[in-house]
Structure 1
């Protein structure tokens, strides 16, 4: 027997039946919802609760990350958008036209993250334009986090349903 066949029999290489895929999915969405525009959410809560130096630190960190995101968008936004469109289209074709399970898993992870990236850029533009302070900034960041969590919740649900369908269809021999 060939060693690769033995390896693939011992380790299930299909994405949706692999525990590491689901752990990765949970870690990605947990991290994405914790870091709001590059600022940890506990820092936002601390600034809201304590004020003072924590609030100054939060404003500085938000300003730095907003300027960084806007700079990246202005300097290389078109190139990144082109590459992202190519990569997502390639993944979608591989995933759903050619039925490649790894491409399906990566697409179901990457596509919602692009929505969060677009949301982050949009929120950065609003913050740069309005320059909110204090409670207005906290509300804007909290709204961004809630929308991100909603996107993550829908993404996890769709991925779980699609993954269960794939496991049942492949496992049952349909």
Structure 2
């Protein structure tokens, strides 16, 4: 047995039995729920605390910081969606349908793993762009802006939990099938 066989036997290069895949899944959903509309959620919490308590956060106005970050990110998202939103959406649907076909019709495990990562994340991205356009259109007050960001984070966390559940169930099915078949 040479060194390559030993390394590949130790690491197991299949997607769902690879530890790195599960680390990527956890980090991806942790990051997606922390960055709401491109704003770290701790900034939203500090602004909510300042709004409720009427206190300044270490001589920095957390509400102004939140409004500035949201304004910058919303302007960026609306500009990109206006400029190339149709092309990005077309490419996203092409990529997802290709991964679905390769993964679930032709049974390529790597494509299944990528699809189970990217499909729910694309739903979160679409929700985020929709919320950005809504906030840009309505210009909500500070309290309403904080509520919008809180609801978007909650929706992201729900999608993430469901995605992790489905991915783990499908991954267990694939690993058990591989053990039974001796692959």
> What band does the TM-score fall into relative to the shorter chain?
over 0.9
- Answering whether residue 137 of structure 2 is matched by residue 142 of structure 1, we say no
Distance in 2 between residues matched to 1:2 and 1:73, nearest whole Å: 52
Shift of 1:4: 4.8
Shift of 1:125: 1.1
Distance in 2 between residues matched to 1:69 and 1:92, nearest whole Å: 27
Matching residue of 1:8: 8
Matching residue of 1:133: 141
- Size of the aligned set, in residue pairs, is 174
Matching residue of 2:72: 64
Matching residue of 1:27: 27
Matching residue of 2:126: 118
Q: Deviations over 1:77-135 (max 9, x none)?
A: 11111111111111011100111111111100000011001000110111011111221
Match of 1:172, SS state, is: helix
Match of 2:136, SS state, is: helix
Distance in 2 between residues matched to 1:2 and 1:75, nearest whole Å: 53
- Runs of at least 5 residues in structure 2 that lack an aligned partner in the other structure: none
Distance in 1 between residues matched to 2:6 and 2:22, nearest whole Å: 24
Shift of 1:3: 5.8
1:146-157 alignment runs, 5 A limit: 146-157=154-165
RMSD of aligned Cα (Å): 1.4
Distance in 2 between residues matched to 1:92 and 1:6, nearest whole Å: 32
Q: TM-score, normalised by structure 2?
A: 0.90
Q: Which portions of structure 1, spanning 4 or more consecutive aligned residues, are displaced by more than 3 angstroms?
A: 1-7
Q: Deviations over 1:40-61 (max 9, x none)?
A: 0000000111245110110011
- Answering whether residue 100 of structure 2 is matched by residue 92 of structure 1, we say yes
Shift of 1:7: 3.8
- Answering whether residue 174 of structure 2 is matched by residue 166 of structure 1, we say yes
